[in-house]
A and B are shown apart, each in its own frame.
Chain A
């Protein structure tokens, strides 16, 4: 054998060029990188600040004015917004500012719990179902059973479940939350399953799988980040949907009962009076729902852009 290269052929590199392959920026990891990218995104920061302000006002808003949410003042009914009553008063002379923020507590709690259940049950059931489908007999069975459970939960009339819960538990906000939680997540599960079914058949996931990447890593590195956009969007819709589902239950006499308020019941109560010009009755609760939605959408868009390396500038 002829030795083609020996040590005499190699020369030391010019010292100035020796550092050229060093990565200047330390690797940050996906979550830290996301965080930095989110706080650089103006829309996301606006959304976050707005969301925190709404939560702050829900906690401390009623205490800022000398009127409680259920205190009636029959000499002061149907007042438009003024320096005295910032959001006006309703037909029983109750202060709308106080009611709006007391209602925020009920509505945000219902919305956040619904979102949390969506995230927990919806994403996990949908994710497992989609991931297991097509993985042998056992995988098919898991997908089949989970999707049939989803169908059964969606098929049972949920008003019946609400009434049963009211019989078993005490009527009130906890019962409403439990009732909404039982079926609220099935839409999310179906959507996530569809997403995972499509994503896992993509070439890069097949490649990762054939290279021996572990299931956990495929799920956390490929499937989850690529589904996050859809998850976030669905979450932003879960919150108002839950808020209005509570309003519907209240309309049927199964929801939050007077004198307690929620954004849903306030918009509902305002229906009869907006046509007579008392716009503030509808405007403030509806505006707050819209602001909550906007805050979530803006923040969600920021996270979504931050997680997608191709969307980064």
Chain B
């Protein structure tokens, strides 16, 4: 019952996001054919507008869009005349998702490790080293790190290939560039909540019982401390697997990150709507899964008064 209810809520949420985006999109001045209008005869531009239903009143355009959306048809892209938005997303998503998932995995594994090591060495050298690393990690954003990585690993030392996509080697540097900042954040969150948890009485009990410190950290520490990291990773996961404009541009990765930005500047209405609906769908599903995962991490948590 809870699942069914949440599913309906998800559809409503996506509909609200799509409608508001449609409204904002139409409020912004501009026209996808602004540059064509100067060089082409008026009749041609009129025909092109009619092809994409742009000659209809806005409420009619809205209804037409929702109708197509209900059949999962995101419409044609105005910019790339021969392809539909579904094609664009289907072609680019695998690259973006691969890169995003790799970056999240790297950030999680190394961030958690760094955070736990820092917490277990509270106010000692390793703690300070991890803090400095975290500060450097977030102060040097991906758009600065990426050219530096390319310069050293690809150009100077020739260790890894760039400016293409396809093999695992090509994905190493962009993954690193994307992972560093989230890694630093995960490490800081984990350090803080591990410090909190390791001071609890049940840890002392486990210690007094003679449990090994490894077992204490793994079975009592991490599980109780990981919740903030899980909350943080949700929205980030959505942002990363749907592509990042800057990194995909720098590394020439054929992902979908560019559509989120280019479509807005080109007023490519179907692509703006398509990317938004696609992003929101992944968003609401991910956040739902995160909510569910809270119950598995800490069974004491109750999400609703019915005990779900």
Interface residues of A (CB under 8 A from B): 133-137, 139-140, 143-144, 147-148, 151-152, 154-157, 159-161, 163-164, 167, 186-187, 190-191, 193-195, 197-198, 201-202, 226, 229-230, 233, 236-237, 240-241, 244, 247-248, 251-252, 267-268, 271, 274-275, 282, 286, 289-290, 293-294, 297, 301, 304, 308, 310-311
The residue from B144, B199, B287 contacting A308, defined by CB atoms under 8 A apart: B199
Query: Which B residue's beta carbon lies closest to that of A163?
Result: B28
Q: Which of B25, B138, B140, B199 has most A Cβ within 10 Å?
A: B138
A297 adjacent to B131 (CB under 8 Å): yes
Q: For the complex, what is the distance from the CA of A210 to the CA of B301, rounded to whole Å?
A: 17
Query: Which B residue's beta carbon lies closest to that of A133?
Result: B303
Q: Which of A151, A195, A229, A233 has most B Cβ within 10 Å?
A: A151
B25 CB contacts on chain A under 8 angstroms: 160
Q: How far is the CB of A127 from chain B (nearest CB, A)?
A: 13
Q: Which B residues, 167 to 187, have Cβ-Cβ distances below 8 Å to chain A? A: 185
B190-203 to A contact mask, C-beta < 8 Å, 1/0: 00110110010000
19 chain-A/chain-B pairs, Cβ below 8 angstroms: A133-B302, A133-B304, A134-B303, A140-B304, A140-B305, A147-B287, A151-B283, A156-B17, A157-B264, A164-B27, A187-B232, A190-B235, A195-B227, A229-B192, A229-B196, A230-B189, A237-B188, A290-B139, A290-B140
The residue from B24, B138, B264 contacting A237, defined by CB atoms under 8 A apart: B138
A304 CB contacts on chain B under 8 angstroms: 192
Size class of the B contact interface (CB-based, 8 Å):
35 or more
B289 CB contacts on chain A under 8 angstroms: none
The residue from A135, A140, A160, A186 contacting B24, defined by CB atoms under 8 A apart: A160
Instruction: Take A144-B9, A155-B17, A167-B28 as given contacts and tell me if A293 and B303 are in contact as well, using a CB distance cutoff of 8 Å.
Output: no
A144 CB contacts on chain B under 8 angstroms: 9
B303 adjacent to A197 (CB under 8 Å): yes
Instruction: Take A191-B231, A197-B294 as given contacts and tell me if A294 and B135 are in contact as well, using a CB distance cutoff of 8 Å.
Output: yes
> B143 at the A/B interface (Cβ < 8 Å)?
yes
B228 adjacent to A195 (CB under 8 Å): yes
The residue from B9, B135, B185 contacting A148, defined by CB atoms under 8 A apart: B9
A161 adjacent to B24 (CB under 8 Å): yes
A293 CB contacts on chain B under 8 angstroms: 135, 138-139
B264 adjacent to A137 (CB under 8 Å): no
Q: For the complex, what is the distance from the CA of A13 to the CA of B246, rounded to whole Å?
A: 79
* Binding stretch for chain A, among B41-49, B64-72, B85-93, B272-280: B272-280
B140 CB contacts on chain A under 8 angstroms: 286, 290
Q: How far is the CB of A66 from chain B (nearest CB, A)?
A: 30
The residue from B21, B144, B260 contacting A282, defined by CB atoms under 8 A apart: B144
> B53 at the A/B interface (Cβ < 8 Å)?
no
B1-41 to A contact mask, C-beta < 8 Å, 1/0: 00000000100111011001100110111000000000000
Q: For the complex, what is the distance from the CA of A308 to the CA of B119, rounded to whole Å?
A: 15
Query: Which B residue's beta carbon lies closest to that of A239?
Result: B138
Q: For the complex, what is the distance from the CA of A12 to the CA of B149, rounded to whole Å?
A: 81
B254-276 to A contact mask, C-beta < 8 Å, 1/0: 00000011001100000010011
A282 CB contacts on chain B under 8 angstroms: 144
Q: For the complex, what is the distance from the CA of A274 to the CA of B91, rounded to whole Å?
A: 35
A157 adjacent to B272 (CB under 8 Å): yes
A187 adjacent to B305 (CB under 8 Å): no
The residue from A143, A186, A244 contacting B235, defined by CB atoms under 8 A apart: A186
The residue from B21, B135, B227, B232 contacting A160, defined by CB atoms under 8 A apart: B21
Q: For the complex, what is the distance from the CA of A310 to the CA of B201, rounded to whole Å?
A: 11
A290 adjacent to B136 (CB under 8 Å): yes
A186 CB contacts on chain B under 8 angstroms: 235
B294 CB contacts on chain A under 8 angstroms: 194, 197-198
Instruction: Take A155-B17, A157-B272 as given contacts and tell me if A194 and B28 are in contact as well, using a CB distance cutoff of 8 Å.
Output: no
Q: How far is the CB of A184 from chain B (nearest CB, A)?
A: 12
